[in-house]
């Protein structure tokens, strides 16, 4: 399973939104997530992948693709020790 597929499943489950509406171009706002829901999603991602988000990273994330890209970059940095 690809990282994007895994993240789609996590976001879908945590945010209680159907996975078919989670296109990479979808804005977080369009999903109707309350801020507490987004925090729950981000905590689950952090726990699952052993990464941490900085507040400023999360505040500038506006689309699902940006979340995917951020998680991928953090996972790669963790693997390389960066």
Q: With CA atoms as reference, report the closest residue to 67 among 1, 48, 79.
A: 48
Task: Enumerate the domain spans of the chain.
Answer: 3-80
pLDDT digits (tens, 9 = 90+) for 22-66: 888 888 888 877 777 788 888 999 999 999 998 888 878 888 888
Q: How confident is the model at residue 82 (pLDDT cuts 50, 70, 90)?
A: low
Q: Domain 3-80 maps to which CATH number in 3.10.520.10, 3.40.640.10, 1.10.3720.10, 1.10.1200.10?
A: 1.10.1200.10
Q: What is the pLDDT of residue 46?
A: 92
């Amino acid at each position: 399973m690809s990282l994007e597929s895994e993240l789609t499943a996590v976001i879908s489950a945590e945010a209680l939104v159907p996975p078919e509406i989670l296109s990479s171009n979808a804005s977080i706002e369009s999903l109707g997530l309350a801020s507490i829901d987004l925090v729950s999603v981000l905590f689950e991602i952090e726990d699952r992948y052993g990464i941490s988000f900085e507040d400023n990273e999360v505040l500038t994330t506006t689309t699902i693709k940006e979340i995917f890209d951020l998680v991928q970059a953090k996972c790669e940095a963790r693997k390389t020790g960066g």
